[in-house]
Amino acid sequence: MKNLTGKNALITGASSGIGQAIAFRLAEEGCNIAINYRSKPQEAEQTEAIALQRASEAGYTIRTLLAQGDVAKEEDVIRITNSAIEAFGGLDILVNNAGIQTEYPSHEIPIDRFDQVIAVNLRGAYLCARETIQHLLAIQKPGVIINVSSVHEIIPRPMYLSYSISKGGMGNMTKTLALEYANRGIRVNAIAPGATVTPINEAWTADPEKKAIVESYIPMGRAGTSDEMAAAVAFLASDEAAYITGQTLFIDGGLTLYGDFREAWSA
Ligand code: NAD
């Protein structure tokens, strides 16, 4: 039993890809969901409609909220979290999913592009966590924060320096917040997706040849799905994970197992 029924969740960047799948999955578990989106209201409305339908098919009547805002902006994060708290009467679960990436040789990244990736992926996740933790401490209730990190939390990613730094930082933020608030009932964990078929990866998912190259690096031989990521979030959000905190769960088809070493490589 996941026991997520009636819980209140805020998911950032929830109108596409992994965030949208997380919204659907939590809705199917009976969670009320606040769908944060930055700029495409139609995508958010579509996400809301499908989430309501999935919840209904699973036998739940849930409440939803569309929460427009840019997680890189402090005033937006305060508004987003407050609107979810007011709409649902409290917040139990935060999923820090919003993320962007940018590709440049590391010696040539325009500093505003570098800053923007850190501002969304790392600072934005911190701001959302800060607001959620303040709320949970104020109402003296337990809660769960789940960060959507990446295999690049530990695998270096040339040409994507700011992304690598942001996800590496997210790993440490997960551990630090988990330790700091463990004795107040707040669990903080992360999932680290491997290569997953979502809009952020259009450059290779839409091209069979490029997709085959990406999948050749994955020991299980295929990219992951957003639903596979969402299943892990539902688990970590639930009481089934009641004793898990400060962990990053890698969901990557074995990508972090050093696939090149599958065969004996030294005598
Ligand atoms: P995506 O582009 O579909 O999702 C990212 C979402 O974040 C979008 O909905 C976007 O609008 C939103 N967003 C971007 N900037 C924002 C901002 N400033 N404020 C609010 N929302 C904002 O791609 P995705 O693959 O679903 O990515 C979701 C998360 O998963 C990201 O954090 C990404 O780094 C991580 N991830 C993805 C993969 C993958 O292979 N797809 C692998 C590892 C980690």
Domain-wise residue ranges, the chain: 8-253
| pTM of the shown model | 0.98
pLDDT of residue 267: 72
User: What CATH number should be reported for the domain whose range is 8-253?
Assistant: 3.40.50.720
If one residue of 18, 77, 101 were mutated to test the ligand 1 pocket, choosing by the most ligand atoms within 8 A of its CB, it would be: 18
Atom 39 of ligand 1, residue of closest alpha carbon:
196
* Given the residues 37, 160, 163, 181, the one annotated as active site: 163
Give the pLDDT of residue 1.
55
Q: How confident is the prediction along the chain (267 residues), in pLDDT tens digits per residue?
A: 578 999 999 999 999 999 999 999 999 999 999 999 999 999 999 999 999 999 999 999 999 999 999 999 999 999 999 999 999 999 999 999 999 999 999 999 999 999 999 999 999 999 999 999 999 999 999 999 999 999 999 999 999 999 999 999 999 999 999 999 999 999 999 999 999 999 889 999 999 999 999 999 999 999 999 999 999 999 999 999 999 999 999 999 999 999 988 888 887
CA of 140 to the centre of ligand 1 (A): 31
Contact by Cβ (8 Å): 49, 229: no
Beta strands in the chain (DSSP E): 8-11, 32-37, 64-68, 93-96, 143-148, 186-193, 248-251
Ligand 1 centre distance from Cα of residue 97 (Å): 6
> What's the confidence (pLDDT) of residue 214?
94
Q: How many CB atoms lie within 10 A of CB 207?
A: 12
Q: Ligand 1 pocket check: which of 16, 35, 103, 227 to mutate, most ligand atoms within 8 Å of Cβ? A: 16
Integer CA distances (angstroms), 201 to 194, 216, 248, 263, in order: 11, 16, 22, 29
**Tokens 């969670």, located at residue:** 31
CA-nearest residue for atom 9, ligand 1, is: 13
**Residue 160 known to be catalytic:** no
